[in-house]
C-alpha cells in the first residue's frame, strides 16, 4: 500500500481508494461540532463570493452539511488497488492499533489533538491542520 503523502506532488497514477479514520462517538463532541456548523451556516453570506445569489449563499453550506454522528478523524489516505494490499493494510493497522491502545491506556486514556489552521486538498477537501507544537 502507498500513502498519498508518499506520492510526489502532481504525480498521476494511483488515486486514493481507502481512508484510515477514527469515528468520533462522543455526544459532547457532536454537540460542539453541531454548534460550529450552525455558526458557519449562519455566516454563509460573509463567506460567499460576490456573484452568489443571496438565497444560495444562505443555504449553500447547510446543503453540504454532514451529520455529526458520522464525524471522523482521517489518519491516513491510502491507495489499495487490490485485495492483497487491503489485507496487508488491515493486518498492519490491527497490530498498530493494539500498540496505540496500549499507549493510551498507559497514559490518562485520552486522545488529544490540537488544531491551529485550515488546509485543503485541491478544491474538494478542506481540513483542520493539527498544531505540530501541541499535538
- Render pLDDT for 25-37 as a digit per residue (tens, 0 to 9): 889 989 998 998 8
Write out the DSSP string of 51-118: TS-HHHHHHHHHHHPPPGGG-EEEEEEEE--SHHHHHHHHHHHHHHHHHHHHHHHHTTS-----EEEE
Listing DSSP states for 8-38 in one string gives: PTT--S----EEEEEE---HHHHHHHHHHHH
Residue 113 scores a pLDDT above 50? yes
pTM above 0.75, yes or no: no
| Mean pLDDT of the residues in the chain | 76
- The tens digit of pLDDT for each residue in 8-20 reads 443 346 788 888 8
Amino acid at each position: 500500500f502507498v500513502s498519498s503523502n508518499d506520492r510526489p506532488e502532481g504525480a498521476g497514477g494511483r488515486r486514493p481508494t481507502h481512508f484510515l479514520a477514527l469515528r468520533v462517538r462522543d455526544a459532547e463532541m457532536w454537540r460542539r461540532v453541531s454548534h460550529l456548523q450552525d455558526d458557519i451556516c449562519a455566516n454563509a453570506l460573509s463567506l460567499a463570493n460576490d456573484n452568489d445569489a443571496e438565497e444560495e449563499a444562505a443555504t449553500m453550506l447547510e446543503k453540504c452539511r454532514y451529520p455529526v454522528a458520522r464525524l471522523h478523524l482521517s489518519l491516513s489516505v491510502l491507495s489499495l488497488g487490490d485485495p492483497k494490499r487491503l489485507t496487508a493494510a488491515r493486518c498492519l493497522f490491527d497490530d498498530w492499533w493494539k500498540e496505540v491502545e496500549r499507549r493510551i491506556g498507559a497514559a490518562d486514556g485520552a486522545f488529544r489533538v490540537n488544531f491551529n489552521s485550515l488546509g485543503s486538498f485541491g478544491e474538494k477537501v478542506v481540513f483542520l491542520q493539527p498544531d505540530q507544537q501541541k499535538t
